[in-house]
A and B are shown apart, each in its own frame.
Chain A
């Protein structure tokens, strides 16, 4: 800290200062400082040591938010929210400092963000996976650089590429233990891009939502077809892609402003303001698939085999296949059970397992109409 906070406050107090319950006024060489229940006057060139403790806390708090924390409104609002200092939260500065001494934590997607008080009111921030909440730092990989966040965001715990940064698949096992205010915003921005900015816009009543039909209309080239996705299919697509187990954003877009989707929006902290590129790419596939007419098929299955097909679809759709134990033959989606079903019903000419009910040629079944 280059300047003493009192010296900085004296300079600012020439125009009067009102911040977080602190009032300061400069009267010639005297600086009048007041908070609720405490007032004092010090020399304009005084130092923090001249102030009683509660006032000193309010002055360092002012200094942090005036001189150290970023001015940019979204990032600043986020850091204020992080330590419970948002508008409408009535804690006093001493109360907030008491909490910051031990650390104030908030969740942001799968992140656990903790603000702590450092020297002379400066805040330091920690970022880790929320599931690593109780893991000692000594057991986590300590990270410091923006590049580390880029690498963390790239692959999940199974080393698979994460095409969607807001998917709930952030890997565990790392911690950024000691970040300044600009750095913590950069790290969160790298792990969950633009979430702080869109959250802030939403708080300000200024979120620019683009609904599906409008977003689809904008698409060109290979994606031009997505405007033809039927409304019913759009519901299924949102159910497939945009629910909490798939994406931590809270969907704020609908089919149009007036045509609201039935699919739950999700409980995420940060909003989704328009269909993302992954959704548009998926919509392109479903638009194409929905172009096919339905046919009626006949297949002979035992009731258990019918149940098994449902279990397999559920296991794949919910990403549960790797959680079914190798020898759990009671589970329909067990690998041996699936292989048995394939051997019995689908081996050889697979399409032959499903007879066309109208007796037509199964080889024409992909013909679009």
Chain B
């Protein structure tokens, strides 16, 4: 069975930052599809620098739990994992699949996969998030969907990933309207109600973890609340629209499957168990005995 390392950002300040990596690792372990599933972090431990030595395997599938190709996937992860010969994925910004490299310090073969955020299956996770937050497995007809990204502050690929999924979901004709909105560029999430005619609008931030942006900035910017600390209603009424705010897409359990898909696309023989145990919520703790 393949060995999987999930590379995530983590945080020195916010314990919620690393939760998706731990939660998806737990889900993937529970499927038995992988021999070992090891999270690794930029800001927490095990650090990227030391994660490979904790995995007793000659061949590793390394999946970045990041939204877009950019600084972390192109520079930080290859450098910190000591991936010899890394020169990029030959990607247009959303099309990275995998590159096979050798880790300098452990001599392991590393299949370095594209980030989860640009995988086609991420569109399904966004839709699932809309289903989860509305409690309606058929949500779509007459409902607007806003996919929200950070924007072009440092990396144009971040916006590309948001538009990519918004376009794909729009093409499915499931939702009445689909828009890509941003925090730092137009069209801006602050004006969410200007971009939708539908009375119900589901807002899904294309972020891995809940934190400052998804739990403070965006809810206040959209007018869901004056003060994030007092919380907000779901749905919340803003300018006559009902806004269903989903929180970070990366916390959706289905994202675990995207991680596995990334490894499978890079050649991992992922067994069928993965796809036969869908999880919408709940806990599947695995005990050692």
Binding site for B on A (CB under 8 A): 70, 72, 74-75, 144-147, 150, 154-155, 161, 163-166, 178-180, 182-183, 186-187, 189, 193-194, 197-198, 201, 208, 218, 220-221, 273-274, 276-278, 281
Contacts and interface: CB of A to CB of B under 8 A. Distances in A.
Contact of B75 (A74, A150, A165, A220): A220
Interface in B1-60: 11-15, 22, 26, 29, 41-47, 49-51, 53-54, 56
B71 interface: yes
B54 A277 contact: no
A194 B54 contact: yes
Contacts of A165: 44-45
A203 B285 CA distance: 35
Contacts of B280: none
B289 interface: yes
Nearest to A72: B56
B285 A154 contact: no
A186 B288 contact: yes
B287 interface: yes
Nearest to A218: B79
Contact of A163 (B12, B47, B50): B12
B105 interface: yes
A154 B13 CA distance: 11
8 contacts: A145-B286, A146-B26, A146-B29, A180-B289, A182-B288, A276-B47, A277-B41, A277-B47
The 7 lowest CB-CB distance pairs between A and B, nearest first, are A183-B288, A193-B46, A72-B56, A194-B50, A163-B12, A193-B45, A144-B287
Interface of B: 11-15, 22, 26, 29, 41-47, 49-51, 53-54, 56, 71, 75-76, 79, 105, 285-289
Nearest to A163: B12
Nearest to B40: A193
B50 to A, nearest CB: 4
Given A161-B15, A163-B13, A193-B54, A178 B289 contact: yes
A171 B115 CA distance: 35
Contacts of B56: 70, 72, 75
Nearest to A179: B288
Most A-side CB within 10 Å, residue of B42, B45, B71: B45
Contact of A147 (B15, B47, B285): B285
A280 B136 CA distance: 46
Contacts of B47: 193-194, 276-277
Contacts of A166: 45
A143 B277 CA distance: 25
B8 to A, nearest CB: 13
A144 B289 contact: yes
Contacts of A220: 75-76, 79
A325 B53 CA distance: 47
Contacts of B49: 274
Nearest to B15: A161
A218 B104 CA distance: 15
Contacts of A161: 13-15
Given A144-B287, A165-B44, A150 B22 contact: yes
B284 to A, nearest CB: 10
Nearest to A189: B54
Contacts of B51: 194
A280 to B, nearest CB: 10
Nearest to A282: B12
Nearest to A273: B50
B288 A198 contact: no
A221 B72 CA distance: 10
Contacts of B44: 163, 165, 277
A181 B280 CA distance: 33
A194 B54 CA distance: 6
Given A144-B288, A161-B14, A186-B288, 8 more contacts: A145-B288, A146-B288, A154-B15, A163-B11, A273-B50, A277-B41, A277-B44, A278-B43
Given A194-B54, A277-B42, A180 B288 contact: yes
B51 to A, nearest CB: 7
Contacts of A201: 53
Contacts of B14: 161
A154 B21 CA distance: 14
A198 B50 contact: yes
Contacts of B285: 145, 147
Contacts of A278: 12, 43
A201 B50 CA distance: 12
A165 B47 CA distance: 11
A251 B43 CA distance: 19
Contacts of A197: 50, 53-54
A276 B105 contact: no
A75 B42 CA distance: 24
Contacts of B46: 189, 193-194
Nearest to A210: B49
B27 to A, nearest CB: 11
Contacts of B79: 218, 220
B286 A146 contact: yes
B289 A208 contact: no
A78 to B, nearest CB: 12
Contacts of B13: 161, 163
A221 B287 contact: no
Most B-side CB within 10 Å, residue of A74, A144, A193, A218: A193
A234 B53 CA distance: 28
Contact of A194 (B15, B45, B288, B289): B45
A70 B54 CA distance: 13
Nearest to A75: B56
Contacts of A70: 56
B254 to A, nearest CB: 19
